[in-house]
Structure 1
Amino acid sequence: MNLRRLDLPMVASFVGRAAELALLRKRLDRVQSDGAGLAMTIRGRRQVGKSRLVQEFCDRSDVPYVYFTATKGASAAEAVATFLSELRDSPIPGNPDLVPAGAGGWPDAFRALANVLPDRPTVVVVDEVPWLAEQDKAFDGALQTAWDRLLSTKPVLLLLLGSDIHMMERLTAYDRPFFGRADALVLGPLTPGETARALGLDGADAIDAHLICGGLPGIIRSWPSGTPPLRFLEAECADPAAAVFSIPEASLLAEFPAPDQARRVLEAIGGGDRTFANIAATAGGALTPLSSGLLTPLLRRLREEKRVLAVDEPLSTKPGKPVLYRVADSNLRLYMAILRTAQEQARRGRAEAAYKLVQRRWKAWRGRAVEPLVREAVELVAIAEGLPWPVQSVGGWWNRQFNPEVDLVGADRAPVAQSVLLGGSIKWIGTPFDGHDLADLMNAVVQIPGFTPGKSGLMVVSLNGLAPQVVADRLDVVWGPSEVLSAWS
């Protein structure tokens, strides 16, 4: 087994984001056309590439810009001094001596910015805005006043970035000073199609690669072009500081610096617990499970504020339970389920043992992890009218006993539908979809409330197609990896 680092060409330093770059360019063109300022907030979870996107845009824009990044833990005075220093060293002021060395606070700093803005378009970037709001409770008000009185009349594109999604949303909430003054861009991970193009992969390899990297640019840049997913992981197991380990590890430490109850809940879900009862037992201990009064707000915080959890509800014409929880980002999910243990082996110099662990757990993990991705692909194609039914929402269905559990359900709305339009199966393991799988599917879909045999459709998404004994005519739609990937083409 060859566990040395791969000596192959790496992916280009900037990948994807054509739509986002075009959107930013459109805003800058409007500034140039109108001669007035525009503000935009850009939010997204850590490591998704916000700063890299904006830096790329600034480099391509061919206009003067200043890029200021706040420092967590710095005082308000230190932040203002650093901002003025960055402004003085930028191409924006015609005369750098016009920028003062210090200021009494953000109102003075914004006034200094307005005084040196030229009559042609410029870009002003303030990164990690939530940290500035933490340092100075008056920051939001100072920003609003400066924008209304000084900056909005100048040809400036103001970009406000932040990784704390909840605080970034609050920045422009209706009860906050900057409400109604900025457009909002939510930056998600790269799509599976962008991942595929960046890595030079297709089909099942591209989907596996996306599950591993979660669409995070930092991992994609470390991936040698054209390298199959398991070969990439084999090489990474020789480097415990590799991006596939360090990026999710850093995200955990940034969001949960102390092993508190929220962290234990997240780790329970990352370890495979999906139901409320199982999460409570694992996070609290078998003898003292977390109470509903403790666990419910923790789950809400992890989902609505931290955005690290996703919740799946059974989709049918009747309300169903239980809801199932999962770690939203597949890279973090993989790290918590497999890669963290593999990294511990790698740190002890046991690269071969680390990779064997990955091999042993990979297929079972992938079989479950691919389901949300497939559902998203089916929904995208359906909404684009690429399926025989007017499906608007795609999910799964299960009863309280998880017997049966249907992988694919397409309906006119969610979570309680008026019509169930399709039921289906996702088989993402080594063997083709065979006669036993078809019999199980036929027995399961008729138990979905709202599914009508002969009227509702049947769909199969299979990694390795259909077995010879399965007559394709009994199924309305059959997809393989290429069809899943083409949803993002």
Structure 2
Amino acid sequence: MDFAGRSRDLGHLANQLSQIRTSASGPRGRAVVLLGRRRVGKSRLAQEFVDRSGLQSIVFQATRGRSATMERDQLVSAARSAAQGTPAEDLLREVRPLDWVGALNALASAVPDNEPSIVILDEVPWLIEQDPGFEGALQTVWDRALSLKPVLLLLIGSNISVMESLQTYERPFFGRAVPMRLKPLTPGEIQEVTQLDAADAFDAFLVTGGFPEIVRTWQRGASLEEFLEESLSQPLTPLLASAALTLMGEFPDSSHARTVIEAIGGYGERTFSGIAGRAGGPQALPSGTLTPILRMLQERHVVTVDQPLSQKPDTKNKHYRIEDTYLRFWLALIEQAIPYVERGRGDEALRQILRSWTSWRGYAIEPVIREALRWILPNDRWPDTNAIGGWWNRQNNPEIDLVGATGEPVAKKVQFIGSIKWYDNRRFGKHEYAELVSSAAAVPGYTDDTPLVAVSRAGIEPGTPITASWSPEDLIAAWR
């Protein structure tokens, strides 16, 4: 499948390049810190941008575990290749840099003085891991040489916490680059790629997480069952392998982080105590062990935290979940099916996944719908609604799917309370409305005048007295 989607992201990069071209005075170079989860398509996006630009480029890919000396030699080699046929070629022929300042100066000498160009340094965290002096050297060469040329410098990395720290006040490169976080493809972009209807495009998002490597294997117009049948036909498909490779690289089997991830994604534990009990085995993980692990997983955007939204603060009543839907799907339904695929029983793997699909999807779709409504609102009908969340008490009974509010984490006013029903053929009707009315009264800030709303995959039964509703088509338009 050809490169698709990412028009917004390509537009951001094009804007940076445009500013370089139109710079009238002063430093002409611009730097972008491009960060995002592994396999989200950062390198592919950068290469696509280079190809479309038609500009001279220098692309350097770091290798984890390779010595700093070898990395510097490879960077100079990339610069030398780019400088062929220019005066810099002779200068670079004998360069053997002893430090990063020398290597980056060699790179700068290969960058044209009067024509726009693009330089890509990929997997920057690995360079920092091998030699902490890389950051200071980059700052020095950027200030003295690179920024004076019409160059767009893309610094790419998958370790989000390291890439974010590059931009903090105490670090050498602070203030010299603009951040750009690449997220997975949106449901709207997935619909564009797969040519599915809106409801089925949301299913495709839940299964693929929007990761391009997996989305590209979805044949246009194919149903969920057809996609799964093809993906389960052998054990090396992207759907089966991508999550395993990511977890293997970032979180070894022996680490507590891996067991915490499995407790949340594989077993559905949401509370601190539930995660501690599941991840600890015979004895619960101590708070002093679990707390820093959860903090680290949040910094890496593997785990995210939801808090109940209402007019009453409840900061300790947290729910933890896996942030990207593909990893959540893989942990809950794919990982346990892989042994069947390895034995050539993809049919049995498919049967087990489909058996649990509807119930798993009902919970997994909720944060996706809340995110869609954050894009849609506020609007003319709900001009003051700038926060979307859910609500639950300590017993998780009741749990409210949707709370629209003015302000967060503590709402100044609850704007509406709603329910999400994501069944294939069952519409939201009077029974579901009665459940919503009964539960809504428990939400701090609810009054008899608070509007009640619904989101339904299959539609709303006529005569159901809700104030507003959203369909899959309404929601997917949020990303248009």
Normalising by structure 1, we get a TM-score of 0.94
Is residue 389–residue 421 contact of structure 1 (8 Å, CA) maintained in 2?
Answer: no
Q: Would you say 1:164 and 2:155 are equivalent positions?
A: no
Please name the residue that 1:379 is paired with. 374
1:364-394 C-alpha deviation (Å, 9 max, x unpaired): 11100000011111221113x1543521011
Is residue 39–residue 183 contact of structure 1 (8 Å, CA) maintained in 2?
Answer: yes
Q: Would you say 1:209 and 2:204 are equivalent positions?
A: yes
Shift of 1:257: 2.5
**Candidates 2, 5, 28, aligned match of 1:16:** 5
Q: CA 1:342–1:245 in structure 2 vs 1: closer, same or farther (change >3 Å)?
A: same
1:109-131 C-alpha deviation (Å, 9 max, x unpaired): 12212223222111111000010
- CA–CA separation in structure 1 for the residues paired with 2:405 and 2:85: 57
Q: Would you say 1:360 and 2:355 are equivalent positions?
A: yes
Please name the residue that 1:5 is paired with. none
Please name the residue that 2:273 is paired with. 277
**Candidates 14, 31, 36, aligned match of 1:39:** 31
- CA–CA separation in structure 1 for the residues paired with 2:259 and 2:63: 28
Gaps in structure 1 of 5+ consecutive residues? 1-10
- CA–CA separation in structure 1 for the residues paired with 2:431 and 2:59: 59
Shift of 1:200: 0.8
Normalising by structure 2, we get a TM-score of 0.95
Is residue 185–residue 211 contact of structure 2 (8 Å, CA) maintained in 1?
Answer: yes
Is residue 264–residue 283 contact of structure 1 (8 Å, CA) maintained in 2?
Answer: yes
Partner of 2:252, secondary structure, is coil
Please name the residue that 2:390 is paired with. 396
Q: In structure 2, what residue type is equivalent to 1:324?
A: H
- CA–CA separation in structure 1 for the residues paired with 2:136 and 2:350: 53
Number of equivalences = 471
Is residue 461–residue 479 contact of structure 1 (8 Å, CA) maintained in 2?
Answer: yes
- CA–CA separation in structure 1 for the residues paired with 2:111 and 2:391: 57
Q: In structure 2, what residue type is equivalent to 1:477?
A: A
Is residue 65–residue 92 contact of structure 1 (8 Å, CA) maintained in 2?
Answer: no
- CA–CA separation in structure 2 for the residues paired with 1:54 and 1:381: 29
Q: In structure 1, what residue type is equivalent to 2:108?
A: A
Q: Would you say 1:55 and 2:44 are equivalent positions?
A: no
- CA–CA separation in structure 2 for the residues paired with 1:97 and 1:343: 55
Alpha-carbon RMSD: 1.5
* Runs of 4+ off more than 6 Å: none
Partner of 2:155, secondary structure, is strand
**Candidates 437, 453, 472, aligned match of 1:442:** 437
- CA–CA separation in structure 1 for the residues paired with 2:474 and 2:109: 55
- CA–CA separation in structure 2 for the residues paired with 1:93 and 1:40: 28
Is residue 423–residue 458 contact of structure 1 (8 Å, CA) maintained in 2?
Answer: yes
Q: In structure 2, what residue type is equivalent to 1:374?
A: I
Q: Which moved more, 1:476-485 or 1:391-400?
A: 476-485
Please name the residue that 1:68 is paired with. 60
Is residue 42–residue 160 contact of structure 1 (8 Å, CA) maintained in 2?
Answer: yes
Shift of 1:397: 0.5
- CA–CA separation in structure 2 for the residues paired with 1:342 and 1:386: 47
Partner of 1:478, secondary structure, is strand
Please name the residue that 2:99 is paired with. 105
Partner of 1:152, secondary structure, is helix
- CA–CA separation in structure 1 for the residues paired with 2:257 and 2:403: 32
Q: Would you say 1:484 and 2:480 are equivalent positions?
A: no
Please name the residue that 2:454 is paired with. 460
Is residue 374–residue 484 contact of structure 1 (8 Å, CA) maintained in 2?
Answer: yes
Q: Which moved more, 1:73-82 or 1:295-304?
A: 295-304
1:386-439 C-alpha deviation (Å, 9 max, x unpaired): 543521011101111111111000001122111001000001124222322111
Q: Equivalent residues in 2 for 1:337-356 (5 A)?
A: 337-356=332-351
Shift of 1:93: 6.2
- CA–CA separation in structure 1 for the residues paired with 2:418 and 2:344: 44
1:281-310 C-alpha deviation (Å, 9 max, x unpaired): 10002x411122221111111112x21001
Q: Would you say 1:185 and 2:180 are equivalent positions?
A: yes
Is residue 95–residue 106 contact of structure 2 (8 Å, CA) maintained in 1?
Answer: no
**Candidates 238, 241, 246, aligned match of 2:233:** 238
Is residue 390–residue 412 contact of structure 1 (8 Å, CA) maintained in 2?
Answer: yes
Q: Percent identity at matched positions? A: 45
Is residue 66–residue 91 contact of structure 1 (8 Å, CA) maintained in 2?
Answer: no
**Candidates 400, 417, 427, aligned match of 1:406:** 400
Shift of 1:101: 4.9
